[in-house]
Amino acid sequence: MASFHRERFKPVGPPDGGDGGRGGDVVIRVNPQLSTLFHLYRRRHFKALNGDSGMKLRKHGKNADTLYIDVPRGCRIINIDTNEIIADLSQKVTECIIAKGGDGGKGNSHFKTATNRSPRKHGTGWPGETKTIKIELLLIADVGLVGLPNAGKSTLLAALTAARPKIDSYPFTTISPNLGVARVEDEYGIEKRFTIADIPGLIENAHIGAGLGLSFLRHIKRTHVVVFVIDMSDDDCIMQYTMLMNELQQYDRALTQIPSIIVGSKIDIDNARENIKKYHTHTNQDILPLSSHSGEGLEELKKRILSIVSMDSSWNEQNS
């Protein structure tokens, strides 16, 4: 503000214009009550308010309030212009400043000099930051179930946890990831828990958008263990694992470095055990026979998962 001090018997006083307030910051923060980004679907532009103007008697204008954007835990914030990951709101980081507000302008009291004792000049302030961002929600799960459509992933999730996903006999029953919590006792008899995500079925060329691939491949990134569910009732079971690994590698090579377990599902079907033998003979891979209906292999799978996730320091911190 540009103003001059006025009082009785002093009609012309020194400059006393105050500084303007700062503009508000835009902050994205984690809200534990949220589980989706649906509340942001229709609102795409967010703008914090300007700070208030300065006042007489060198009074500073009020700073604008921070504008908070609430998101669920597990979001990744990406700068669209630079493709840089600004923040990963997973476990420890709960909020981040996306755009800083600009500073307020200087009042005319700052421009007084020996040669200009009555300046009418004042600062107009500086604009805040502007960014275009993308918010991705990634599931925070310890275990990801990966397999072809109708391989038995949802049935396995229901058998391992209390989750009740939609289950049917046709492909693409699952159109969104499902989460469940499995419980298992360690070697000391202490109950441990880990979360399992049923990733919707992948098909060939999922990494370039075929089926539902691009929508859900990213959810595998945060898992500690990948469980490949191979349908042993299919005579072409040997090619299933190869295709799945290829899709993960084509999407992001880092996904193939995550520890994995291969399970052969539906072994209660007639030709499944013969296919297990063929699979092992051709690939020499360790495969765990499993039936979600009879319960065979379920406890062994839990123990194998626990042995892997327990070696991860971040998982131990969460479950200590």
d(CA 202, CA 275): 21
pLDDT for 213 equals 45
Which of 137, 153, 187 is the last residue in one of the domains? 137
d(CA 109, CA 123): 11
Shared domain for 194 and 292, answered yes or no, is: yes
Shared domain for 84 and 186, answered yes or no, is: no
pTM over 0.85: no
Shared domain for 99 and 173, answered yes or no, is: no
How far is residue 192 from each of residues 92, 153, 189, 261, 266, measured CA to CA in Å? 21, 22, 9, 19, 27
Q: CA 318, 86, 312: angle at the middle one, nearest 5?
A: 25
pLDDT in tens, 246-255: 888 887 888 8
Q: Would you list the DSSP string of 76-100?
A: EEEETTTTEEEEEESSS--EEEEEP
Shared domain for 168 and 96, answered yes or no, is: no
Identify the CATH number of the domain in which residue 294 sits: 3.40.50.300
Shared domain for 210 and 67, answered yes or no, is: no
Shared domain for 291 and 265, answered yes or no, is: yes
Domain range spanning residue 197?
143-318
Shared domain for 3 and 81, answered yes or no, is: yes
Which of 137, 161, 176 is the last residue in one of the domains? 137
Shared domain for 108 and 191, answered yes or no, is: no
Shared domain for 132 and 30, answered yes or no, is: yes
pLDDT for 45 equals 92
Shared domain for 230 and 166, answered yes or no, is: yes
d(CA 214, CA 126): 41
Count structural domains, the chain.
2
Identify the CATH number of the domain in which residue 19 sits: 2.70.210.12
pLDDT for 154 equals 82
Q: CA 108, 111, 116: angle at the middle one, nearest 5?
A: 110
pLDDT for 131 equals 93
Helix (H) or strand (E) holding 238: helix 237-251
Shared domain for 280 and 150, answered yes or no, is: yes
Provide the total of helices (H) and of strands (E) in the chain, helices listed first: 6, 12
pLDDT in tens, 55-83: 888 888 889 999 999 998 888 899 999 98
Which of 90, 116, 137 is the last residue in one of the domains? 137
pLDDT for 212 equals 47
Residue located via tokens 């979360």: 195
Shared domain for 81 and 212, answered yes or no, is: no
pLDDT < 50 regions, the chain: 173, 206-214
